[in-house]
């Protein structure tokens, strides 16, 4: 099973909404943040922006909360998916998601969430700031550690 996920570097996000638009366009054939599987939380006063997408929880509350077993983890991609035909629109998954990621489509009356675009997330592909990357947790941690090390080395003066 593939254990990749979308990693967010909120320091790089400028709140442009490109990820939201390309997501809704690729899934719904319309540019609509309301129908995007990734949502950017914007705190305009502070100038902070945080893209929110599925965390791929190991013990996913959305899966456990679904009364009709419409939500499952893909054995191939590891993504948590919704079988739309089974969904009864009860929004149990929306209430259960601790990150506010599971969404409800007011037009189809069904739940929806990130499906990782079958392993090639469009939001990552089109994120021009590099705020979104796709890879394993280990890759994300290695990159984070590298940045911390570089920052530490750059700001310290070494004497012999």
So what's the pLDDT on residue 140? 80
Q: What is the pTM of this model?
A: 0.84
Neighbour-count burial for 53-68, b at 16+ CB within 10 Å, e otherwise: bbbbbeebbbbebbee
Give how many domains the chain has, as a whole number: 1
Is the pLDDT assigned to residue 159 strictly greater than 80? no
38 neighbors 23 (Cβ within 8 angstroms): yes
Domain of 72: which CATH number?
3.30.70.20
C-beta pairs of 65-71 under 8 Å, 24+ apart in sequence: 65/92, 65/93, 65/95, 65/96, 66/92, 66/93, 67/92, 70/111, 71/111
pLDDT tens digits along 73-123: 998 888 999 999 999 999 999 999 999 899 999 999 999 999 999 889 999
Query: Is 81 inside any structural domain?
Result: yes
* Mean pLDDT, rounded, for 37-42: 94
Q: Identify the domain containing residue 85 by its residue range.
A: 55-113
Tell me: the pLDDT tens digits for 131-155?
A: 999 998 888 888 888 888 888 887 6
Assess if residue 149 is contained within a domain.
no
In a domain, 93, yes or no: yes
Q: Residue 60: inside a domain, yes or no?
A: yes
Task: Give SS3 for 64.
Answer: helix
């Amino acid at each position: 099973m593939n254990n990749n996920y979308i990693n967010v570097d909120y320091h790089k996000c400028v709140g442009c909404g490109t990820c939201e638009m390309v997501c809704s366009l690729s899934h719904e054939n319309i540019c609509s943040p309301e129908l995007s599987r990734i949502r950017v939380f914007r705190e305009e006063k502070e100038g902070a922006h945080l893209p929110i997408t599925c965390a791929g929880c190991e013990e996913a509350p959305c899966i456990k909360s679904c009364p009709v077993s419409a939500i499952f983890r893909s054995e191939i991609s590891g993504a948590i998916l919704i079988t739309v035909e089974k969904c009864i629109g009860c929004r149990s998954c929306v209430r259960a998601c601790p990150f506010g990621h599971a969404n409800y489509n007011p037009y189809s009356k069904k739940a929806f969430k990130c499906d990782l675009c079958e392993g090639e997330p469009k939001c990552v592909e089109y994120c021009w700031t590099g705020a979104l990357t796709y890879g394993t947790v280990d890759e994300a941690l290695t990159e984070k550690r590298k940045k911390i090390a570089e920052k530490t080395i750059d700001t310290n003066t070494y004497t012999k």
